[in-house]
Amino acid sequence: MTASGCVTVHGELEVVPAATRSEAAQALKAFTAAYNAADKAYDPALDADRVAGPLGAINQAGLKARQKNNPDGNANHTPLELTDARYLIPKKAGWPRWFLADTDSNRDEDSGKLDTRWLLAFVKSGPDAGWKTSYLSVVAPSQLPGFTKDSDGLAEPVAADSSELAVAPEDLGTQYTGYLQKGTPDVFAPGTTTSGWRDARRTTRRAGFSYQYIDQPLDSGTFAPLGLKTDDGGALVFFSSKHFERQTAAKGLRPPLNADVEALLTGEVKSTLTKERVSSQLVFVPKKGAGDGKVVILNRLPGLTAAKGS
């Protein structure tokens, strides 16, 4: 019984760590095993219960396409290894709960590749649910900020509607997609995934073809933003979005198809092809009033999730 007279069941009302470190380590181990099994067989069913949100949408669609094009599996499969794991576990009341695994991977061991860290956000929707990975970002170690921690060494989560940041986490998807469509509000630092991408889309030219783009925020359920406070008053935040690219061909022409697009295609491509992509972004959001106030995108992970012809 709490001081307010409410009964606490499964920790729904009590502020508790989202996971123990051993629980977090087991979740990472289970994800890696499922990911490798699915990648080796090109079978989305083998890791469907270990992924969610933007990573789940991208992973499942990608495996579906590769399975169709390579029914015998992945002849070039190399097992993913995630080591040197550091767990950032926030305290939280109620569900969902989440934690961040900051890991080293064997994907950058080839000569000449820059050292990177793989950040995986694990989400658990309820007391009887399993841990699923909803976000994955790959960043250089130098891009990682210091995180605020309490006396127990636990990370501090950022509220979705926080007024202490230059942009509240719950508004990032809307701000990003609005910027790509209209150029405003201009709250993002210039870069290849902000001003560079917007400019590239506006200047895309190909004889006989026209291009249209629609961008939509994804900000609920397992697509909701997740953020941790940094020691400078800012926050490291994951958020997600959806992007449509429509190609329309002039009479006598047909939009080109590659194997991955064709594997996910519905309808018949006569003059129009619409590609749907889901994207996750990892950003640093400064404290309100700090510096130039610009949100910096550290990593963007997009993936084709559907295609439609007409």
What are the two backbone dihedrals, phi and then psi, of residue 21, each rounded to the nearest 5 degrees?
-65, -35
Task: Tell me what pLDDT residue 69 has.
Answer: 97
Instruction: Decide if pLDDT at 72 tops 70.
Output: yes
Closest C-alpha to 54, from 172, 195, 145, 181 = 172
Closest C-alpha to 236, from 153, 165, 154 = 165
Task: Tell me what pLDDT residue 96 has.
Answer: 95
Task: Tell me what pLDDT residue 2 has.
Answer: 35
Per-residue confidence at 185, pLDDT binned at 50, 70, 90?
Answer: confident
Task: Tell me what pLDDT residue 81 has.
Answer: 98
Section 38-65 average pLDDT: 98
Task: Tell me what pLDDT residue 86 has.
Answer: 97
Q: What share of the chain in percent tops pLDDT 70?
A: 95
> What are the residue boundaries of the structural domains of the chain, listed by start?
16-309
Per-residue confidence at 3, pLDDT binned at 50, 70, 90?
Answer: very low
Task: Tell me what pLDDT residue 181 has.
Answer: 96
3-class secondary structure, 234: coil
Give pTM, 2 decimals: 0.93
pLDDT, one tens digit per residue, over 197-250 is 999 999 988 899 999 999 999 999 999 999 999 999 999 999 999 999 999 999
Residue 208's beta-bridge partner residues? Answer: none
Closest C-alpha to 241, from 221, 224, 216 = 216
Closest C-alpha to 81, from 63, 55, 101, 104 = 104
Per-residue confidence at 4, pLDDT binned at 50, 70, 90?
Answer: very low
Task: Tell me what pLDDT residue 7 has.
Answer: 42
| Alpha-carbon gap, residue 76 to 129, rounded angstroms | 33
Task: Tell me what pLDDT residue 264 has.
Answer: 98
Section 46-67 average pLDDT: 98
Q: For residue 245, how many C-alpha atoms fall within 13 Å in the half-sphere facing its CB? A: 16
| Alpha-carbon gap, residue 229 to 250, rounded angstroms | 51
Distances (CA, A) of 141 to 81, 117, 146, 304: 18, 6, 11, 28
Task: Tell me what pLDDT residue 6 has.
Answer: 38
Whether 58 and 260 have beta carbons less than 8 Å apart is answered as no
Q: Mean pLDDT of all residues in the chain?
A: 94
pLDDT, one tens digit per residue, over 241-295 is 999 999 999 999 999 999 999 999 999 999 999 999 999 999 999 999 998 999 9
